[in-house]
Copies of this chain bind each other. A is one copy, B any other.
Amino acid sequence: MAVVNEITNRNVDFAKWYTDICRVAELVDYSSVKGSMIIKPYGYAIWENIQKNLDKMFKELGHVNVQMPMFIPESLLNIEKDHIEGFAPEVAWVTMGGNTPLEERYCVRPTSETLFCDHYKKIIKSYRDLPKLYNQWCTIVRWEKTTRPFLRSREILWQEGHTMHQTEEEARNETLTMWHVYEKFQKEYLALPVIIGKKTEKEKFAGAEETYTIEAMMQDGVALQNGTSHYFGQKFAKAFNITFLDQDNTLKTPYQTSWGVTTRMIGGLIMTHSDDNGLVLPPKIAPIQVMFIPIGKDEAVLTKIKEIQNKLSSNITTKIDLSDKSPGYKFAEAEVKGIPLRIDIGSRDLENNTVTFVRRDTLEKSIVSLENIEKTIEETLENIQSNLYNIAEKRRNSMLHSAANYEEFKQITETLPGFIKINWCGNIECEEKIKDDSGYKSRCILIDEKTDGVCAVCGKEGKHKIYFGKQY
């Protein structure tokens, strides 16, 4: 089909293939605003599904949504030193309101730790006010120089959780809990076989004590940092002078976390599951899970489709393609848009009491009985979901390497895509040497894995198992 021919082959040019998918599947468009993308209806519907499911998970854990201002006065952003150093070079500054220059310039939030702390200072007085489990769905702005749909753009849709706790233990638990919520969501809904671990001192969030990360690997072996959860300790709270009267009647400083994921996850979805024919979406996050394509004009066919729709569980989203396009065009469209299951029905199918299933994950065609078809549809969708995860995991595993020494490490970087696991001494010099030599950055320290040898770079005592990889 014409529409498929517009997609560059992955092996020819992976970057071009990616932007082709974004365009042909009608996910995004470029705008006249440099570096900012337009999220089109089909792309936004994926984000709505992500929001709906994540928001439910957050609320089940007691989180509530709020809305903070989008602007941060410069003096407020300046309060925490590491934080301002990390963000000042990439914020957008508002300097005029109407025709009047502002007395103090405001940046458009690049993240909202400072705004939340400013508010928490006001509303946290007693241990009874804790914990505060706030979340915000909004957009943030970072003045990036090079941009790419979903992966890096000047304006980003995201959610940011900001919580305050009575004790260190509680805040540490929150950091880990939300990290695992992200892991669970990405594995179960997005079918991404993510690796989870801790960021090094060099790579952690500006102002955080510890950053826990979700690392996905794309089909080309390149990493996508796909969500982070930060433990702040009392750093911001002290800088903002936030205190509360504890049960023992003494003034204490609370402990803080923040955690966020962005539309970048949609980029991760695309680069993990899609193929040369177009987008491939896991059923649990697809805006349309089943596309019915009536063949011919037989009224009985439409009646049968509606009968099937009515019998299906309300969790399953379906659509009938009633446009005046040819069946061939409709097939191609369902394919490039990554609809998990296509069901073709014509008059002859009705006579045989069958329909045709076309799975997007395998592109397999099969003749399926109309008997108990609701159950067959549900099972097929579940099967597609787990199959996508398994394919992605198998591919990912084939690109996970280990290197015992620097010779091996360099050889892998020169010959194989993917992540490389090493024993590491924990010194930033070794981390920087790798980056300077190969462009590989540390992905994450593996929490549950012990070292079994010396640092692959310097040969000194190994302290951590850690992954390195190239990144988007």
Which residues in B have their C-beta under 8 angstroms from that of A70?
A: 36, 70, 108, 139, 141, 155
Nearest CB on B from A151, distance (A): 16
Q: Does A71 contact B (CB under 8 A)?
A: yes
Q: A439 to B303, alpha carbons, bound, how many Å?
A: 61
From 205 to 263 in chain A, residues with beta carbon under 8 angstroms from any chain B beta carbon are none
From 16 to 56 in chain A, residues with beta carbon under 8 angstroms from any chain B beta carbon are 29, 31-33, 36-41, 44-45, 47-48
Q: Given A90-B98, A96-B92, A119-B29, A38–B66 Cβ distance below 8 Å?
A: yes
Nearest CB on B from A58, distance (A): 12
From 66 to 95 in chain A, residues with beta carbon under 8 angstroms from any chain B beta carbon are 66-73, 76, 88-95
Q: Does A64 contact B (CB under 8 A)?
A: yes
Q: Does A419 contact B (CB under 8 A)?
A: no
From 135 to 176 in chain A, residues with beta carbon under 8 angstroms from any chain B beta carbon are 138-139, 141, 143, 155, 157
Q: Does A383 contact B (CB under 8 A)?
A: no
CB-based contact A29/B98 at 8 Å: no
Q: Does A99 contact B (CB under 8 A)?
A: yes
Q: Which residue of B lies closest to A119 (CB)?
A: B38
Q: Given A96-B92, A118-B32, A45–B67 Cβ distance below 8 Å?
A: no
Q: Given A64-B44, A115-B31, A89–B93 Cβ distance below 8 Å?
A: no
Q: Does A328 contact B (CB under 8 A)?
A: no
Which residues in B have their C-beta under 8 angstroms from that of A157?
A: 67
Q: Given A31-B115, A76-B32, A94-B92, A45–B64 Cβ distance below 8 Å?
A: yes
CB-based contact A95/B96 at 8 Å: yes
Which residues in B have their C-beta under 8 angstroms from that of A71?
A: 33, 36, 92, 155
CB-based contact B94/A98 at 8 Å: no
Q: A411 to B142, alpha carbons, bound, how many Å?
A: 57
Q: Does A416 contact B (CB under 8 A)?
A: no
CB-based contact B69/A33 at 8 Å: yes
Nearest CB on B from A165, distance (A): 17
CB-based contact A66/B89 at 8 Å: no
Q: A38 to B162, alpha carbons, bound, how many Å?
A: 14
CB-based contact A97/B31 at 8 Å: no
Q: Does A3 contact B (CB under 8 A)?
A: no
CB-based contact B29/A41 at 8 Å: no
Q: Does A438 contact B (CB under 8 A)?
A: no
Nearest CB on B from A206, distance (A): 15
Q: Given A89-B98, A92-B97, A99-B89, A119–B66 Cβ distance below 8 Å?
A: no
Name 8 extra pairs, CB < 8 A, besides A38-B119, A39-B67, A89-B99.
A31-B118, A32-B118, A33-B71, A36-B71, A37-B69, A44-B65, A93-B94, A93-B96
Interface residues of A (CB under 8 A from B): 29, 31-33, 36-41, 44-45, 47-48, 64-73, 76, 88-99, 105-106, 108, 115, 118-119, 122-123, 134, 138-139, 141, 143, 155, 157
Question: Can you list 6 pairs linking A and B with CB atoms under 8 Å apart?
Answer: A33-B69, A38-B68, A44-B66, A70-B139, A71-B92, A93-B97
